[in-house]
A = this chain, B = another copy of it.
Amino acid sequence: MIRLSEIPTTPPTELDKDVIHDATKQLRKRLAKLQHLMYAERKYSLLVILQGMDASGKDGATRDVFGACSPSGIHVKSFKKPTEEEFAHDFLWRIHKNVPHKGMIQVFNRSHYEDVLIQRVHGWITEEHAQKRIQSINAFEELLQYDNDTIILKFYLHISREKQQEELQERLDEEDKHWKHNPRDWEEAKHWDEYMRCYEEAINQSTIPWHIVPVDKRWYRDYCIAKVTVEALEKLPMELPVLEE
Contacts and interface: CB of A to CB of B under 8 A. Distances in A.
A144 B90 contact: yes
A102 B90 CA distance: 10
A91 B147 contact: yes
A103 B140 CA distance: 25
A89 B44 CA distance: 10
Contacts of A148: 88-90, 93
Interface stretch (A128-136, A162-170, A195-203): A128-136
Interface residues of A, number: 28
A92 B85 CA distance: 20
Contact of A147 (B90, B99, B103, B147): B90
A71 to B, nearest CB: 18
Given A42-B88, A97-B96, A99-B93, A136 B139 contact: yes
Contacts of A146: 129, 132
Interface string A134-163: 011001101110111010000000000000
Judged by DSSP, the binding face of A is helix
Interface in A87-137: 88-93, 96-97, 99, 101-103, 129, 132-133, 135-136
Nearest to A87: B102
B88 A92 contact: no
A90 B91 CA distance: 18
B129 A101 contact: no
A133 B171 CA distance: 47
